[in-house]
Amino acid sequence: MGIEVECAHLVVDLPPDQRTPARHLRIYKEFGAAAIPLQMIKMHPGGISFAVERERLADVREILTRMGYRYQYTDEMVIISVISVNMREMYGVMAKIAETLLEADTEIAQLGDSHDSVLCIVPKRNAQEAIKRLRKTFNLRGASHGKEARP
């Protein structure tokens, strides 16, 4: 468990006439051409959200503005990863993570999972307390960074 990356979280509004696969692809191609990696992409009924490394926020904002999209962003966020190799065999891991973070008054901008991990975008100011609480919830020891401790 640890902090993966310092990031910014963006939510891009897509007008109803632009909620098409071609429009989504256009956005992704623009960021690809600029060599800007997007993380934790989520498609919403009204748009998309994603995280980018903080150093690339100005570039992302410039591209979205040039493309004519309205967007909102939150800076000074981090992605916390919780590695859970047996997650698919355990009931309620994501719910327990969300519960722990919310009980610690930590805003969750986005939560996502893969076959062996959960990624949480949270404010940087809450990161160390969030990790501490998650370690306690899952009875883990270890340093605040790195992936050695697993629920």
DSSP assignment of 27-80, as one string? HHHHHHHTT---EEEEEETTEEEEEEEGGGHHHHHHHHHHHT-EEEEEEEEEEE
Q: Is pLDDT above 80 for 69?
A: yes
Inside any domain, residue 59:
yes
Are residues 13 and 63 located together in one domain of the fold? yes
Q: Is pLDDT above 70 for 151?
A: no
Rounded distance between C-alpha atoms, residue 80 and residue 60, angstroms: 22
The DSSP string of 104-116 is: TT---SEEEE-SS
What predicted TM-score, i.e. pTM, was given to this entire model? 0.85
Inside any domain, residue 148:
no
Model pLDDT, residue 35: 98
| Mean per-residue pLDDT of the chain | 89
Domain with 62, as residue range(s), is 7-76
